[in-house]
Amino acid sequence: MSAKTTITSTADLKKLAMDFVSVSQGAAVASYPWVGKGNKIEADGAGTEAMRQAMNEIDMLGVVVIGEGEMDEAPMLYIGEELGTGNGPHIDIAVDPVEGTTLMSTGQENSLTVIACAPRGSLLHAPDMYMKKMAVGPKAKGCIDIDASLTDNMMAVAKAMNKDVTELTVMIQNRERHEGLINEVLALGASIRLFPDVDISGAVATAIDEIQVDMLVGTGGAPEGVITAVALKCLGGDFQAKLVPQDEAEIKRCLEMGITEPEKKLTMDELVRSDECFFVATGITEGLLVKGIEKRENGLLQSESFVAIGGDVKTYQYIKSHHLASGEMK
């Protein structure tokens, strides 16, 4: 393939997205043997290495702009790492080979592999730190303001969705720091849906009617926030965020990475500055968004992946595949 500097067509975008579905599947299958084994470092390492090898076979020049987390001691696809053959589109990659490492290492639900891609220079280049987030689906697009109160946002979302506020369901990570948000939702008579980890699934769920989640709010990781913004852009939803530096060192790191106002409101278009993007997730353990890896009677492993494609495509689909235990497609 001749070298290109960007994604030039809908066909390119769809092909690249499907290439990354295979990458995501391979990482999930490689991590699967470590489910419930109590060793999240080994699990993360297996997924990371499988992902790195697969991405290096794709015709692209990809750069990891936000990864598993600079603060992790786990092996990682590090920020600034170049991947691919060097031919093809130049793209930004935001990735987590095993999102929810603690969940999968202890045999709990909702661990998955996630990848988000967009043309070079499109994704927010941010350090691994806390980020305040608010996510909604397509019906409430344009109705949220992270600088306003949760009550005001819930009222606006309810109006946009033609619901009473008491009919809303709000996903919130079960953390002490979210006690005020939880109480505010309950005070309005709405429903909460708490989860232990992996806010990407809950945010994406706001755009999937069958899951019946209206909003996600709370503070979590910035890498997950960028990945979520890509997914919701593809799905027609909305997402806003604010970085939450914990100390002067984190503010300095933001400035070094070109973020001149570390605590300003970030809209979805500021987090993802292109519509030519896509999001891929493959389940490792059973989850809200995708099913986990299952071993079939014939010895093959069955995976379920979710892929959302932006641009002119604006579509999503679920893909079930079967693999040899080594991760090779059958």
Q: Is 99 annotated as a binding residue?
A: yes
**pLDDT < 50: residue spans in the chain:** 1-3, 69-74, 327-330
Residues 143 and 252 in one domain: yes
The CATH number linked to 23 is 3.30.540.10
Q: Is 145 annotated as a binding residue?
A: no
Please give the model's pTM, rounded to 2 decimal places: 0.93
Q: Is 273 annotated as a binding residue?
A: no
Q: Is residue 214 part of a domain?
A: yes
Q: Is residue 328 part of a domain?
A: no
Q: Is residue 159 part of a domain?
A: yes
DSSP character at residue 204: H
Q: Which domain holds residue 48?
A: 10-121+277-323
Q: Is residue 229 part of a domain?
A: yes
Q: Is 96 annotated as a binding residue?
A: yes
Residues 267 and 319 in one domain: no
pLDDT tens-digit readout, 4-25: 567 767 888 999 999 999 999 9
Residues 135 and 265 in one domain: yes
Q: Is residue 1 part of a domain?
A: no
pLDDT at 183: 98
Residues 20 and 73 in one domain: yes
Q: Is 121 annotated as a binding residue?
A: no
In the listed set 255, 271, 287, which residue is the last one of a domain according to the structure?
Answer: 271
Please report where in the chains the tokens 């946002």 appear, as a residue. Answer: 153
Residues 298 and 226 in one domain: no
In the listed set 256, 271, 286, which residue is the last one of a domain according to the structure?
Answer: 271
- Residue length of the chain: 330
Token reading at 273: 């500055």
pLDDT at 8: 64
Residues 49 and 21 in one domain: yes
Residue 172 in contact with residue 190, Cβ under 8 Å?
no
Q: Is residue 195 part of a domain?
A: yes
Radius of gyration for the chain, computed over Cα atoms and rounded to the nearest angstrom:
19
pLDDT at 326: 61
Q: Is 88 annotated as a binding residue?
A: no
Q: Is 100 annotated as a binding residue?
A: yes
Residues 135 and 252 in one domain: yes
pLDDT tens-digit readout, 228-263: 999 999 999 999 999 999 999 989 888 888 888 888
Cα–Cα distance, 116 to 306 (Å, whole number): 12
Residues 248 and 140 in one domain: yes
Overall domain count for the chain: 2
Q: Is 177 annotated as a binding residue?
A: yes
Q: Is 68 annotated as a binding residue?
A: yes
The overall longest dimension of the chain from CA atoms, in Å, is 59
pLDDT at 313: 85
Q: Is 199 annotated as a binding residue?
A: yes
CA distances 226 to 190, 203, 265, 278, Å, are 28, 12, 14, 12
Q: Is residue 5 part of a domain?
A: no
Q: Is 214 annotated as a binding residue?
A: no
Residues 285 and 256 in one domain: no
Residues 307 and 216 in one domain: no
In the listed set 235, 250, 271, which residue is the last one of a domain according to the structure?
Answer: 271
pLDDT at 5: 67
Cα–Cα distance, 297 to 269 (Å, whole number): 46
Q: Is residue 71 part of a domain?
A: yes
